[in-house]
Amino acid sequence: MVRSLPLPQYVEGMSLSLLIETLKKLMPRLGTIFKTITDEAEEFFLSMSQILEKLFQLQFELYGILRRAKVRVTIDIPDLKMIQKDLQKKLLGVDGVIGCGTIYGILTIHVKGTTAQQKEKILEVLQAFDHQERYKCQVLETREEHAGEIESGQNLRASRTMTGSLGCFVEMSPQDSNVDEKSDPKVEEKEVHAITCAHCFVGCKGLIEVKIGENFVDLGTKKYEINEKTLDVATIAVYPFRLTSCYSKLKRFDESYTNEWHCYSDNPISIHVHKEGPATNFTKGIVISADYAIKNMRVFILDELRQEILIERLPDVGEGMSIMSGPVALPGGDFSMRGDSGSVICTDSVDDDSVYIVSLLTGARSTYKSFSYTCSYNFRDTLEELKKKYKVNIKPAELNVPPPSGS
């Protein structure tokens, strides 16, 4: 076969053995050349895949903007399918699966590690539900949040070891005069409460302070909490004398303030959101999943499945977005960090200057590359659970709201 190849003139007279010897001597050099070529090709394709992934994320963001726009568009905006809860439960039952949901519109299954048996089992479950859409598995490690002028986003602490974020202020009152005696503690009259996360103040029975500038001052005491695998919320009854220092205002996407907020009731997938927290201050993000679920025994024992809302920092086409300069620059920093639990995650109203509270920040899910998704619980559902458990009415508090202009 070698003799049949068109060889350069200077090797035509070589014997086969001499030709083989010559090629052996050239192999190290050829190996170096080919390794350089393959390394450059690998870097090129890695950059291309990152660019395509970023374009896909930007398209996802654009579709989210167009869905909320009150103008006619000439392109077809695809509907984003939500995962079937029965399928979600089955996937969470697979050994090694940590969580799953639709992220960026794609069924994403988070696992501790990958094995051939695990892949077969996941595929078997998907086939049983006739899942024909694209899906992907991603290795993930969990990172729990261990706790750590007065307004949303300020630092809360108790016993100098428990820390969290002040979400927002609400007004609570009893639903009727015949409140069940077992609903203890009871709200005897209208009270102002600060919303935060229960896991930040587990076992706290005393004073909770809030940071103003460089100092902490008394805020109130923890009164209500639901600290379960399916919910994570606590309320702090604010001392009456402290109310003159409390402001109910929340920030909008452009960091201007508004004194009016509502609970978001639509599907929040792909909308722009923002939050203020003591660890990362003001950050902007995008809802990448509204149906993510974490495996826990309550799902299987009590048949309870509470879905989380996942948020990622907004995709950012920054410096380095070039296939000629190596890997693509990814968005800098995470949407939240340890200490931000209890912050409220908001989105601007498209009708006026108010904001909608979408969810309550509860923690994060981290990949093996140290990249994290912020996880949160639907705020409207959270308040409904508090109303039901403690038999109270809840509405936004109006604290130090300036009078309308011109009045």
pLDDT one-digit tens code per residue, 368-404 = 555 578 989 999 999 999 999 999 999 999 998 776 6
As for how many domains the chain has, the answer is 3
Q: Per the domain annotation, does 77 fall within a domain?
A: no
Backbone angles phi, psi at 277, to 5 degrees: -145, 155
* 53 plus 89 within the same structural domain: no
Write out residues in the chain with pLDDT < 50, as ranges. Answer: 1-3, 5, 7, 144-148, 179, 181, 297-298, 301-302, 317-331, 407
Residues 297-327, buried b or exposed e (16+ Cβ, 10 A)?
eebeeeeebbbbbbbbbbbbeeeeeeeeeee
Between the two ends of the chain, the Cα-to-Cα distance in Å is: 97
User: Angle at which helices 116-128 and 85-92 pack, to 10 degrees?
Assistant: 160
233: alpha, beta or left, given left = phi > 0 and alpha = psi -120 to 50? beta
Q: Which residues form the domain of 96? A: 85-143
pLDDT at position 330 is 43
Q: What CATH number has the domain bearing residue 214? A: 2.40.10.10
Q: Per the domain annotation, does 74 fall within a domain?
A: no
Q: Per the domain annotation, does 204 fall within a domain?
A: yes
Q: Per the domain annotation, does 73 fall within a domain?
A: no
pLDDT at position 328 is 42
Q: Per the domain annotation, does 46 fall within a domain?
A: yes
pLDDT at position 188 is 60
CB 397 within 8 A of CB 170: yes
Q: Per the domain annotation, does 373 fall within a domain?
A: yes
Percent helix, strand and coil across the chain, each rounded to 5? 25, 35, 40
pLDDT at position 320 is 40
* 119 plus 227 within the same structural domain: no
How far apart are the C-alpha atoms of 102 and 269, rounded to whole Å?
10
pLDDT one-digit tens code per residue, 204-215 = 888 999 999 888
* 91 plus 204 within the same structural domain: no
Its pTM stands at 0.74
Within 8 A by CB and 6+ apart from 272, the residues are 61, 64, 65, 253, 284, 285, 286, 314, 347, 348
> Position of tokens 């909608």?
356
Token pair of 255, please?
A: 């960091």
Q: Per the domain annotation, does 402 fall within a domain?
A: no
Token pair of 75, please?
A: 């392109």
* 224 plus 263 within the same structural domain: yes
Q: 208 by DSSP, 3-state: which? A: strand
